[in-house]
Amino acid sequence: MQAFPAVATIAQDVRNGGRSARSFTDDALARIDAHGEALGAFLHVDVDGARAHADEVDRRAAGGDDLPLAGVPIALKDNLCTNGVPTTCGSRILSRFIPPYDATVVARLRAAGAVIVAKTNLDEFAMGSSNENSAFGPVRNPWDLARAPGGSSGGSAAAVAAGLVPVALGSDTGGSIRQPAALTGTVGLKPTYGRVSRYGLVAFGSSLDQIGPLSRNVEDAARVLAVIAGGDPRDATCSNDPVPDVVAGLEDGVDGLRVGLPREYFDDAIGDGVKTLVRRAANRLATAGATLIDVSLPHTSYGIPAYYIVATSEASSNLSRYDGIHYGHRTKDAADLAETYERSRTEGFGAEVRRRIMLGTFALASGYYDAYYDRAMRVRTLIRRDFEEAFEQVDVILSPTSPTPAFKLGEKTSDPLEMYLADVLTVTANLAGVPGLVVPEGLCDHDGARLPVGVQLMGPLWSEARLLQVGRWLERTREEAISIPEGAAS
């Protein structure tokens, strides 16, 4: 299967009348129909809605509307609210929920001419690192169907990696865009906290969540970010500062760039295959005029414990809204209101969501708050300071994304703590609020398979343009092509 053209090419074609939005949409729908089920990547395919919207885009384009994403088929993680289109969050509790409004990012994509073709599978409420916590079954990695695509945006990553859609949106609370991007050989961007409105994103950890693109190349991610970023009166945490042009400087190269290599991200827990490819990317930067500088982020090992207190505390609060009354699943078997709450929630939430609600409720409970939540929020400050000090010396940080390439389905499901540790290299960016971009660097032999490895670039707050510029250079100079894996089209 051939990859879709670049987003800019699709949009130009549609605006010029060279090829219709409807034709690109039908192409995506046919690919999804042929290969989506084997991957488990989609929870809903909006065939009629997508076609109707594509026709409307064609009319707008013919009328001369300047649509930056004209006719670009896009899939959305199923925790993004879509007006009139089911949004399940991978949970039984929302299995019949149909939002009466669009998330801000969805409205902006539609206005820009993008065509939403499908909603993608995810770990329930975005809680997981393998996509095995979905109530509707796991997603398979297109590079090896016995392996996980990562999570929680696993369906979006698998769909893009397999070439079924050119771009997708995910959300990232502790690595949920970047880790699946790394494990599927795709580009994934977690913007700075506050760069993209969270209105209409089903809340998990409100001080950590960000929406961002997954794509096959860096420029496509930049073009999607340009559409979805920017202030929104419906999200008070979204910055009203003007968003710099993230496309103009993409080809500006890396001469003179100061690149930090954080020593804590290259320790013994990180696989050799991963380290080798990250070092290869670093060496290439050095030969092109960048300076490599050893830096330290000394509180890295406190990231996972702090993250799992902050994220679960916020989740326990956010998920208290699922009461079986206003929307979502209601038990058939309750004598009074209290039982309605308890049984609806117990029947509706899966094991990992219950576990995290319990942990978060514990951390916020009277008598434990100071020892857990308050302490974790102070450690968060230390992690933020680590980054601030590092960024006094360097422009960007280059690191691995995931300790290993894609692991097998079922490999980590018996021990929740082991799954949590998969996020060790990504949670710190969320705790500090800084942006992170993952770009595939190549393939490595791991555990009997040939699997992609993605490098992670992190930068100061609001430095997306710089990250994309460096990511684009790494992509342009990459020694191996990252094509659509053959297994995906089987």
Partner 1 sequence: MIDRRTVEQIARLARLELDEERVVKLTDELSRILAHIDKLEELDVTDVPPLTHGTGGADVYRADVAGPVLDRDDALRNAPDQADGLFRVPRVIGDA
The β-bridge partners of 229 are: 196
The β-bridge partners of 172 are: 210
Q: Show contacts with partner 1 in window 381-400 (CB under 8 A).
A: 381-382, 384
Say whether residue 341 binds partner 1 (CB under 8 A).
yes
Whose Cβ is closer to partner 1: residue 433's or residue 454's?
A: 433
Of 91, 153, 176, 402, the active-site residue reads: 176
Say whether residue 240 binds partner 1 (CB under 8 A).
yes
Active-site residue flag, 152? yes
Say whether residue 306 binds partner 1 (CB under 8 A).
yes
Q: Show contacts with partner 1 in window 56-85 (CB under 8 A).
A: none
Selection from 385, 209, 210, 418 nearest residue 314 by Cα = 209
Stretch that binds partner 1, among 45-53, 219-227, 316-324, 440-448 (CB under 8 A): 316-324
Whose Cβ is closer to partner 1: residue 125's or residue 341's?
A: 341
Say whether residue 450 binds partner 1 (CB under 8 A).
no
Say whether residue 140 binds partner 1 (CB under 8 A).
no
Whose Cβ is closer to partner 1: residue 342's or residue 486's?
A: 342
Of 20, 130, 134, 152, the active-site residue reads: 152
40: left (phi over 0), alpha (psi -120 to 50) or beta: left
Find the shortest distance in angstroms from Cβ 30 to partner 1: 32
CA–CA gap between residue 299 and residue 283 (Å, rounded)? 26
Find the shortest distance in angstroms from Cβ 239 to partner 1: 6
How distant, in Å, are the alpha carbons of 235, 304, 344, 395, 438 from that of 157?
26, 23, 31, 28, 12
Q: Show contacts with partner 1 in window 280-299 (CB under 8 A).
A: 299
Six-digit token string for 360: 């978060």
Q: Between 81 and 120, how does the x/- string for binding to partner 1 read (CB under 8 A)?
A: ---------------xxx-xx-------------------
Pick from 461, 468, 474, 482: which binds partner 1 (CB under 8 A)?
Answer: 461
Kind and range of the H or E element at 430? helix 427-432
Is the distance from CB of 10 to CB of 217 less than 8 angstroms?
Answer: no
CA–CA gap between residue 155 and residue 126 (Å, rounded)? 11
95: left (phi over 0), alpha (psi -120 to 50) or beta: alpha
- Catalytic residue set: 77, 152, 176
